[in-house]
Structure 1
Amino acid sequence: MCGNKMAVQADEPNTTKKHSNSRSARATTSSAPYSSSRSQSQRPDPTHSSTTTTTASTYTYDGGTGTGSSYRLNSSTATAEASVSTRTSLSSFRNSLPENTHIYDFSEIRSATNNFLSKRFSSSSTPSWRCVLRGKDVVVFQRKFRRPIQDSELREKLSVIYRSHHMSIIKLTGASISGDYIYLAYDYTSGGNLTDCLRNKRNPEFTVLSSWMSRMQIATDLASGLDYIHNKAGLKINLVHKYVKSSSVIVTEPSFNAKICHFGTAELCGETVVEAKVVKQSEIEEIDSPERSPAKKLTRSGSRTMQFEGVNGYMSPEFRGLATQKSDVYAFGVVILELLSGEEPVKYRYDKVNGEHVKTLVVETARSAVGGDGGDEAEIEGRLRRWVDRRLKDSFPVVVAEKLTRIALDCVVDDPNLRPSMSRVAGKISKLYLDSLKWADTIRIPTDFTASFAPR
């Protein structure tokens, strides 16, 4: 039928023209208000010639003169109007966002956690519960304030953190305060933490991160998320994470994306704001803040009050209780080395000769692998292959692995002023991720062939 219709139209041009004219007339008659407004805008007016020309040049017909009822914008006018409409739509969309963080009543937290009698969400030292708050599946963490904080300051920080959106950061949904404690509710994210993914206690020889690309994906996500926290999330505020470690990273399946937990916890608990003053007495250092009472005379009683809060293996050498972006960079470097080697940041090995436990740091083993006693490229490659997690089965690009190891070692230098910024680190790791993709394409098993098991 399509062929016959086309033949008729080719043989009878007058008939087709007559039909099209009748359709135009009917369209004009049926849309009289629109056609009249267009005809008035296109009618020449000597007193408004410039306006008439602009309006007339704005619209053209889609299907030829007099045969179409739809219009399209010219390219120049479309670009200008599109930019204006984009700004308008973005502004209205921004104003419609729910920027006010949920300030939960403490009774809501108690009800959701069954008066804190529900089963703990994790076995960590920080109390946490998985529950439902206002229809959302969340995990509530209980934290203690490290210093007094005003309500206005708390609301301002909550607002900044709540407005932060990044695919590699688990979002804070709200908070509640009771006495000296703050209860932070984060979106529940299914998956396992990076520590359990790298070191399975039940089966040490197994890991879900058995491919190089899965580990590069995690490294890229972590670098991107921490760069966002340091440089883009807080606007005028220099935000610090403080709790960068493998157990604070959730790995999701099946794409093995990484999401950072506890974003904003250190800021809201007052752990990164007060300027610290180091007071040395009898070769013992103590943090003295304005809110604390005058320093007392220190003794060597072995009291735990002199221990700084932090995780062994992730603390930078200059860390004295006050977290900074440079200490975050140090902890990030340790996580990357942990990701490459599969080993713990700190490990104790029993020496049968001396009868003592020898402390081994993943930072030291990494330096020995790529630096060590020097040597040519072949020797460095051999040491690196022995150091990288054996569960990768020696299937990884050696050049990329060496570059990533050196980036991580730059992050863990003792002098904080020599450590790179997270923006620089994220850019380098993104490039290494692209190089890894090219490498993965070269070793991919070909699929464009057939096999036959028939007798030959």
Structure 2
Amino acid sequence: MQGWSRILRGLRHHSMCRTGKKDVISPARPPFRPPSRIPRRAPSTSSSGDVIANSATTNTSWSNRDSRASSSSRQSLASLRESLPENPQIYSFQEICRATNNFLAKTIGRSPTWQCSVGGHDAVVVRRQFRSTSDELRVRLRSTCAAHHGNVVKLHGATVSGAQIYLVYEYVRGVSLADCLRNPRNPGFTVLKTWTSRMQVASDVAQGLEYIHHYMGESRVHGHMKSSGIIIADPSLTAKITHFGAAELSGEATAGASRSPQRINGTKGYMAPEYLECGTISPKSDVYSFGVVLLELLSGEEPVKYRFDRSGKDYVRVSLVDTARKAVEGAEEGRIRRWVDRRLGDSFPVDVAERTVRLALDCVHDDPNRRPEMRYVAAKISDLLMKSKAWEEKTKPPLEISVTVGPR
């Protein structure tokens, strides 16, 4: 934490020196502040100066420990706030505690994620282990908060408390893509019940990932692409990529860096081979994960599952990538039609489906150098989406039905 303070004080000193005056800080664009922001109230303190959280007794000691760690870095966070010319919001840890009701608010998914209200607006707070440095956080936070794309959930800001980083994202009403495809309560139903709706989701995700890789001003990665990290917004069914920047800001993944296997925190079925072997993260790792998501969209199946083999009396691992390869490489006619999700009602253009599966298999190639870039993938999926819409218009049944009532 002392190293954190020294570096951030140096950043503030650098910002002051650029003006040529001793005590004048160069003007900067004001940070992002949502309208009708709720004024901050000073937290109540005990005689020792520790922050007292209004919560259950079981959470009081944990909150006080993080509050003491937060108070030691308050001056550093203030320096960081002044050194950022863009629009990130540097929140205080006490503000995050109040917003999440001392982390007793509604959680989302399995990860430590809370749905709450921050600054009077609906938000999602994500907690991660902080393994980065202040310089990396300053640069990444500024560029990540500057991201504006309709298919990427926006990051509003963050705060650091001890060994934890708290990221505040906008809240998007909807359901994850994984739940849309595989609802355990109603396996036979899905809101993505047409071929075109699934191709539209694929196009949305591809364009969002293309924006991250090619239009962020530097080589950026997502690091954790998976169907549970994609929100299908209600009611437009627009796909939005969540948690962009979480892996980089927390220090879990850095583009082009090689991490030890102990630091990998991925999901089975989505991790590229080079990620599994040595922890190397690159845009091509995201391309691999996207290829798996695309196969999920077409088949409705999980990336990896286990089935019981009666002959061997053991469980056998079944990979979605392997079944897709068998479907396109098999000589048996109609194999692709049987592989595609049956809930689509056997109503889709088979030639477009086969081309889409082959594109997904190109994305999951074992050699990262042979995987296409997202710019190419997004363009191909847009073309396939247009062909799907043309097929849908051509096969749509006529809506106008004339009825004549009279004597025969």
Name the TM-score, length of structure 2 as normaliser: 0.76
Which residue number in structure 1 is paired with residue 310 of structure 2?
A: 352
Instruction: Find the partner of 2:229 among 248, 251, 254.
Output: 248
Structure 1 residue 316 corresponds to structure 2 residue 269: no
Q: Deviations over 1:74-103 (max 9, x none)?
A: xxxxxxxxxxxxxxxxxxxxx799532110
Structure 1 residue 441 corresponds to structure 2 residue 393: yes
Instruction: Find the partner of 1:196 among 179, 187, 192.
Output: 179
Structure 1 residue 136 corresponds to structure 2 residue 121: yes
Distance in 2 (alpha carbons) for counterparts of 1:144 and 1:350: 37
Distance in 2 (alpha carbons) for counterparts of 1:104 and 1:401: 47
Given that 1:172 and 1:186 are in contact with CA atoms closer than 8 Å, whether structure 2 keeps it comes out as yes
Which aligned pairs between 1:209-358 and structure 2 lie closer than 5 A?
A: 209-233=192-216, 235=217, 237-273=218-254, 287=261, 306=262, 308-319=264-275, 320-358=278-316
Which residue number in structure 1 is paired with residue 90 of structure 2?
A: 103
Deviates more, 1:154-163 or 1:351-360: 154-163
Identity %: 52
The verdict on how the C-alpha distance between 1:245 and 1:205 changes in structure 2, with shifts beyond 3 A counting, is same
Q: Deviations over 1:297-349 (max 9, x none)?
A: xxxxxxxxx58321000011111333211110000000000110000000100
Which residue number in structure 2 is paired with residue 115 of structure 1?
A: 102
Q: Deviations over 1:388-432 (max 9, x none)?
A: 000001000111111110000000010000000000000000000
Secondary structure in structure 2 of the residue aligned to 1:131: strand
Amino acid in the other structure paired with 2:379:
G
The verdict on how the C-alpha distance between 1:132 and 1:97 changes in structure 2, with shifts beyond 3 A counting, is closer
The verdict on how the C-alpha distance between 1:406 and 1:127 changes in structure 2, with shifts beyond 3 A counting, is same
Amino acid in the other structure paired with 1:315:
M
Which residue number in structure 2 is paired with residue 407 of structure 1?
A: 359
Which residue number in structure 1 is paired with residue 133 of structure 2?
A: 149
Which residue number in structure 2 is paired with residue 294 of structure 1?
A: none
Deviates more, 1:430-439 or 1:440-449: 440-449
1:153 deviates by 3.2
Distance in 2 (alpha carbons) for counterparts of 1:134 and 1:113: 12
Given that 2:255 and 2:281 are in contact with CA atoms closer than 8 Å, whether structure 1 keeps it comes out as no
Structure 2 runs not aligned, ≥5 long = 1-28, 33-85
Q: Deviations over 1:116-168 (max 9, x none)?
A: 1223233x1x20111111111001000112x3411x43222111111110000
Distance in 2 (alpha carbons) for counterparts of 1:274 and 1:163: 18
Counting matched residue pairs gives 326
The verdict on how the C-alpha distance between 1:415 and 1:440 changes in structure 2, with shifts beyond 3 A counting, is same
Secondary structure in structure 1 of the residue aligned to 2:305: strand
Which residue number in structure 1 is paired with residue 170 of structure 2?
A: 187
Distance in 2 (alpha carbons) for counterparts of 1:367 and 1:262: 30
Distance in 2 (alpha carbons) for counterparts of 1:247 and 1:108: 28
Secondary structure in structure 2 of the residue aligned to 1:142: strand
The two structures, once aligned, show a CA RMSD in angstroms of 2.0
Which residue number in structure 2 is paired with residue 371 of structure 1?
A: 329
Q: Which has the larger radius of gyration?
A: 1
Distance in 1 (alpha carbons) for counterparts of 2:88 and 2:352: 42
Name the TM-score, length of structure 1 as normaliser: 0.68
Structure 1 runs not aligned, ≥5 long = 1-94, 279-285, 288-305
Distance in 1 (alpha carbons) for counterparts of 2:125 and 2:240: 17
The verdict on how the C-alpha distance between 1:274 and 1:246 changes in structure 2, with shifts beyond 3 A counting, is closer
Secondary structure in structure 2 of the residue aligned to 1:217: helix
Secondary structure in structure 1 of the residue aligned to 2:159: strand
Amino acid in the other structure paired with 1:440:
E
Given that 2:290 and 2:363 are in contact with CA atoms closer than 8 Å, whether structure 1 keeps it comes out as yes
Which residue number in structure 1 is paired with residue 23 of structure 2?
A: none
- Hey, which bits of structure 1, 4+ residues long, moved more than 3 A? 95-99, 274-278, 452-456
Which residue number in structure 2 is paired with residue 299 of structure 1?
A: none
Given that 2:188 and 2:343 are in contact with CA atoms closer than 8 Å, whether structure 1 keeps it comes out as yes
Distance in 2 (alpha carbons) for counterparts of 1:162 and 1:350: 47
Distance in 2 (alpha carbons) for counterparts of 1:454 and 1:253: 46
Which residue number in structure 2 is paired with residue 167 of structure 1?
A: 150
